[in-house]
Chain A
Amino acid sequence: MIGGVTVQRLDTIASLKYFTPEIVVVFTMMAVLLLDLVAMKRSRGERRVLIVAPALIGLAVALFYSVRLAESPAAGLFSGMVAQDGFGSVLRIVFLVTSIFVLLFTLHSRELSSVHPGELVVLLLTVTAALMWMSNAVNLLMIYLALETVSIASYIMVGYLKGDRLSNEASLKYILFGAISTGTMLFGMSLLYGLAGTLDLYGIRSALANQEILVESGPALMVIILMVLAGIGFKMATVPFHFWCPDVYTGAPTPVTAFLSVGPKVAGFAVLVRFFYGGMARPEGEAGFAMVGAVNWQAILIGISILTMTLGNVTALLQTNLKRLLAYSSIAHAGYIMMGAVVLSGEGIQAMVAYVVIYLFMNLGAFLVVIVVHNAVGSFDIKDYAGIWRRSPLLTVLMGIFLFSLMGIPPFAGFLAKWYVFAAVIRADLGWFAVVGVLNSAVGAFYYIKILKTMFLEGDDVPEPSSPLELHPMHAGLLLLLAVPNIIGLLLWGYLDRITEYSQKLLEIL
Chain B
Amino acid sequence: MIPLEYYLVVSAALFSLGLFGLLTRKNAINVLMSVELIFNSGNINLVAFSRFVSGDLDGQVFALFVIAIAACEAAVALAIVMSLFRHLKSVSLEGASALKG
Please determine whether B42 and A190 come into contact, CB atoms closer than 8 angstroms.
yes
The residue of chain B having its C-beta at the shortest distance from the C-beta of A244 within the complex is B101
In the bound assembly, the distance between CA atoms of A191 and B49 in angstroms comes to 8
The residue of chain B having its C-beta at the shortest distance from the C-beta of A184 within the complex is B38
Interface of B is mostly: helix
Knowing A194-B45, A247-B101, say if A176 contacts B62 (CB, 8 Å). Answer: no
In the bound assembly, the distance between CA atoms of A145 and B70 in angstroms comes to 11
Chain B 39-55 interface mask (CB, 8 Å, partner A; 1/0): 10111011011100111
In the bound assembly, the distance between CA atoms of A247 and B98 in angstroms comes to 9
Please determine whether A166 and B83 come into contact, CB atoms closer than 8 angstroms.
no
Please determine whether A198 and B54 come into contact, CB atoms closer than 8 angstroms.
yes
Q: Tell whether A180 is near chain B: CB-to-CB under 8 Å.
A: yes
What are 18 of the A-B contact pairs (CB < 8 Å)? Answer: A141-B58, A141-B65, A159-B80, A162-B83, A169-B96, A172-B96, A175-B76, A175-B77, A176-B32, A176-B77, A180-B38, A183-B18, A184-B38, A186-B38, A186-B43, A193-B46, A193-B62, A194-B48
Please determine whether B66 and A197 come into contact, CB atoms closer than 8 angstroms.
no
Of residues 10 through 37 on chain B, the ones whose CB sits less than 8 Å from some CB of chain A are 15, 18, 22, 28, 31-32, 35
Please determine whether A152 and B76 come into contact, CB atoms closer than 8 angstroms.
yes
Please determine whether B28 and A183 come into contact, CB atoms closer than 8 angstroms.
no
Please determine whether A183 and B62 come into contact, CB atoms closer than 8 angstroms.
no
- In this complex, the interface size class of chain B, counting residues with CB under 8 Å from chain A, is 35 or more
Question: In the complex, which of the residues A156, A171, A187 contacts B42, with contact meaning CB atoms closer than 8 Å?
Answer: A187
Please determine whether A197 and B99 come into contact, CB atoms closer than 8 angstroms.
no
Chain A interface residue count, Cβ-Cβ cutoff 8 angstroms: 39
Q: Report which A residues bind B (CB closer than 8 A).
A: 140-141, 144-145, 148, 152, 155-156, 159, 162, 165-166, 168-173, 175-176, 179-180, 183-184, 186-187, 189-191, 193-194, 197-199, 243, 246-247, 250-251
Please determine whether A165 and B80 come into contact, CB atoms closer than 8 angstroms.
no
Please determine whether A148 and B35 come into contact, CB atoms closer than 8 angstroms.
no
The residue of chain B having its C-beta at the shortest distance from the C-beta of A168 within the complex is B84
Please determine whether A148 and B99 come into contact, CB atoms closer than 8 angstroms.
no
Question: In the complex, which of the residues A141, A148, A250 contacts B61, with contact meaning CB atoms closer than 8 Å?
Answer: A141
Please determine whether A166 and B98 come into contact, CB atoms closer than 8 angstroms.
yes
In the bound assembly, the distance between CA atoms of A246 and B41 in angstroms comes to 30
Please determine whether B46 and A190 come into contact, CB atoms closer than 8 angstroms.
yes
B9 to chain A, nearest CB (A): 13
B78 to chain A, nearest CB (A): 10
B67 to chain A, nearest CB (A): 11
A275 to chain B, nearest CB (A): 16
The residue of chain A having its C-beta at the shortest distance from the C-beta of B74 within the complex is A179
Chain B 60-101 interface mask (CB, 8 Å, partner A; 1/0): 011001100100110011001101100110000000101101
Task: List B contacts of A193 (CB < 8 A).
Answer: 45-46, 49-50, 53-54, 58-59, 62
Knowing A165-B87, A168-B83, A187-B45, say if A156 contacts B38 (CB, 8 Å). Answer: no
The residue of chain A having its C-beta at the shortest distance from the C-beta of B61 within the complex is A141
